[in-house]
Structure 1
Amino acid sequence: MSAQALLDDIADVGRDRVRGGYSRHVFDAADRELREWFAEQAQRRGLDVERDRNGNLWAWWGTPGPDAVVTGSHLDSVPGGGAFDGPLGVVSALVAVDELRGRGVTPAKPFAVVMFGEEEGGRFGVPCLGSRLLTGSLRADAALRLRDADGVTFAEAAVSAGLDPDRIGPDPEALGRIGRFVELHVEQGRGLIDLGSPIAVGSTVIAHGRWRFTFSGQGNHAGATPMDDRRDPMLPAAETIAAARRLARAVPGARATVGRLVPNPGGTNVIASTVDVWLDARGGDVSSLVADIEQAARVAAAEEGCSVQVRQESHSGEVEFDPGLRDELAGLLGGVPALPTGAGHDAAILSDHVQAAMLYVRNPTGVSHAPEEFAEAADVAAGAGALARVLEHLCR
């Protein structure tokens, strides 16, 4: 079965009828269906499936053990995301297993395909949640307190999925098995279009993080409150969004995005009492950029008679993937280019602990985290073939 056929097999799972694209979030109905699908596909290939303490799924070819070659990605999405971000890496890993079996290859090292949970942070706000918990880069108590938009905590959601909250957290046994990790992913940009190549290896991931700005004012009646008597937190929220764009444009290579804003109580004829704004900031000196945005937010809040609280929800420094492994894989694949990215990945979280690498597949639209995200069937096949060659090489 081809990678494209496997993508087609899950094409109806988690479709978002309002936003378009897909909304697949950890422990929701779509996620449960995808986990069952992954387990079934793995078992069809003779792989033994286990779930770790943090809800990540591992499909082992043979006996689990140290110095394992591991590949995979995630199946969750951002709200209204595309069909390829995450699933392409998972289905390509399954097809690579088929290719290796077809060539009569039996790995000389332990081998696994992994499906990480909540890579996008679409439900609980922290990206790469499964790999962060696995590695201990996110404290378990902080993760368990996270709440989704409906007020459900991660602890409550974990219990509903059959996990034990007391066991969630660093998993040195699972992490210690990984020798080398390779993640295939659709490119989230247009680098490969410009380079004229269907495949690349990953070089770096720029620093990035998420911050939550909570503006507090005075909720009141939209019609009965004169304009001069208002303390409307929506105004400093709006000014902060504009300031983020302005300040980021002044820093070479920086990105600053507000993709989510939630007023409370959210009525059309109500002056909000609070407004939550989530800032995604990326770039070399991201902390300095966020400090400047925070200062702009505090000035705007004071001018409106409001206050603002700023909380960091996640942060990852710049990642350089193992240069030796990167060059080894690039040479194996015929000298494909090395590509930097502004997108975060589980491989980047793991790279502090194990040798990790990325393979990218060309996206002709250059669009990601949106329904227009795409990869041509020929490039999808090329990616799966490249991954199979890499895995055969690493498993010797």
Structure 2
Amino acid sequence: MTLLDDIADVGRDARRGGWSRHLGDDGEATLREWFAEQAQRRGLQVETDANLNLWAWWGSPGPDAVVTGSHLDSVPGGGAYDGPLGVVSALAAVDALRERGVRPSRPLAVVVFAEEEGGRFGVPCLGSRLLTGALDPDRARGLRDPDGITLVEALGGHAARLGPDPERLARIGRFVELHVEQGRVLAPRGEALAVGSTIVAHGRWRLSFTGRADHAGTTRLDDRRDPMLAAAAAVLAARAAMVRHGDEARATVGRLHATPDGTNVVASRVDLWLDARGPLPQALVDDVVAAAREAADAEGVTLEVRSESSSGAVTLDPALADTLAAVTGAGRLATAAGHDAGVLAAQVPTGMLHVRNPTGVSHAPDEHAEDADAEAGVTALADVLEELCR
């Protein structure tokens, strides 16, 4: 918790509340420097890979490494625990192992993945997707932030290095990510920890409605081609789709941008982003798009739909999950939140530990974990790493 306190003022968002830490901004850069300094204090060898992921090695980098870590970036106005808890717990677990006199018999690394939330460039798990080849580097270079700045412009010459890194990936024998619980399952169970089992399918889609800009006061109803009406229909359709598809379905519009963004102007274009999760996320999207297209046609505006990211359902490595459960005594937990662990799971044995969140709130300032639960998470992670490093 002292380590979390060290970074508590980094990336504070006075407008939204909470924290906003995104790839390439001052807050994220400060956190990267902080991590490197903390790792070096512990005698770990720090390096940045071609995709801006940070690695801190205990021992020489090599095959069959045990890797743990998470991310330090956030959603806009996010909480203090999503991502950073996993990173500081990994550093604290290294301290605990040293206090126990443990000397790993295989390489051990703490990793910080870049742009896990996709808060600036729109694609979540950017660093791990590039590392594994799940994201085309040419597509990544063309990504733009809300101000129109491309990833190439943000990264400069480093952008030319982006891409799959099979040699580095081959070093990972097993990966374990500790994360604060997202949702409220553990508190009713009376459990401080859980072992991750599955991650549901999820994705992000961009819906762009194009009409005609005009004067809010002088434009008659029959003369309007207002994309905001079709966008509003899409927002309502997302809620209706959730109801229609059952308890496990999630369809959310949390971001919308109008152009030219004036109070007394009929918009010329509205972009909104749909987050869909569940057993059949594409079915949710299809329902929303059908309603949106009908509303767009009625208003005389056009609709373009683009998939920005998509991840299928993931079952985390069963054997590793069994090991984590045996070592920690924790039960299992499925999650609808995406993680770098889910991206890596396609190519390396991957597991997760979840630390109880008593509020159940995530991606918001009220996200929380009690000190005692965070300490239990560090102890459990250290026990797991000790077992895996035998």
Identity %: 66
CA distance in 2, matches of 1:93, 1:177: 18
2:76 counterpart letter in structure 1 = P
Listed as ranges, the matches of 1:293-332 within 5 Å are: 293-332=288-327
Say which of 91, 95, 98 aligns to 2:95.
98
Say which of 32, 51, 66 aligns to 2:29.
32
2:243 is the alignment partner of 1:276: no
CA distance in 1, matches of 2:53, 2:215: 47
1:361 counterpart letter in structure 2 = V
Listed as ranges, the matches of 1:354-393 within 5 Å are: 354-393=348-387
CA distance in 1, matches of 2:374, 2:238: 36
1:35 counterpart letter in structure 2 = R
CA distance in 1, matches of 2:113, 2:87: 10
Listed as ranges, the matches of 1:7-46 within 5 Å are: 7-46=4-43
1:105 counterpart letter in structure 2 = V
The CA deviation string for residues 193-233 of structure 1, in whole angstroms up to 9 with x for no partner, is 12110000001100000000000001101011012210000
Shift of 1:293: 1.2
2:119 is the alignment partner of 1:125: no
1:224 counterpart letter in structure 2 = T
CA distance in 2, matches of 1:373, 1:303: 42
Listed as ranges, the matches of 1:96-245 within 5 Å are: 96-159=93-156, 164-245=158-239
1:279 counterpart letter in structure 2 = L
SS of the counterpart of 1:30?
helix
Number of paired residues? Answer: 389
The CA deviation string for residues 221-274 of structure 1, in whole angstroms up to 9 with x for no partner, is 101101221000000000110011101211121100000000000000000000
Q: TM-score, normalised by structure 1?
A: 0.97
CA distance in 2, matches of 1:254, 1:80: 25
CA distance in 2, matches of 1:89, 1:289: 32
Deviation above 3 Å: which 4+ runs of structure 1? none
CA distance in 2, matches of 1:246, 1:293: 9
CA distance in 2, matches of 1:324, 1:343: 22
The CA deviation string for residues 125-158 of structure 1, in whole angstroms up to 9 with x for no partner, is 0000000000000000111000001111011111
CA distance in 2, matches of 1:332, 1:262: 48
Give the unaligned 5+ runs of structure 1.
Answer: none
The 10-residue stretch of structure 1 (322-331 or 67-76) with the greater mean CA deviation from structure 2? 322-331
Shift of 1:37: 0.1
SS of the counterpart of 2:66?
strand
Shift of 1:181: 0.1
2:336 corresponds in structure 1 to: 342
Let me know the Cα RMSD of the aligned residues: 0.7
Say which of 274, 282, 287 aligns to 2:282.
287
CA distance in 1, matches of 2:281, 2:59: 43
2:72 is the alignment partner of 1:75: yes
Shift of 1:166: 2.1
Shift of 1:289: 1.6
Shift of 1:337: 0.9
CA distance in 1, matches of 2:11, 2:312: 32
CA distance in 2, matches of 1:232, 1:382: 54
Shift of 1:164: 2.4
SS of the counterpart of 1:277?
strand
SS of the counterpart of 1:82?
coil
1:84 corresponds in structure 2 to: 81
SS of the counterpart of 1:148?
coil
1:262 corresponds in structure 2 to: 257
1:147 counterpart letter in structure 2 = R
CA distance in 2, matches of 1:156, 1:184: 33
Give the unaligned 5+ runs of structure 2.
Answer: none
CA distance in 2, matches of 1:360, 1:192: 9
2:316 counterpart letter in structure 1 = F
1:169 counterpart letter in structure 2 = G
CA distance in 2, matches of 1:371, 1:290: 29
The 10-residue stretch of structure 1 (60-69 or 286-295) with the greater mean CA deviation from structure 2? 286-295
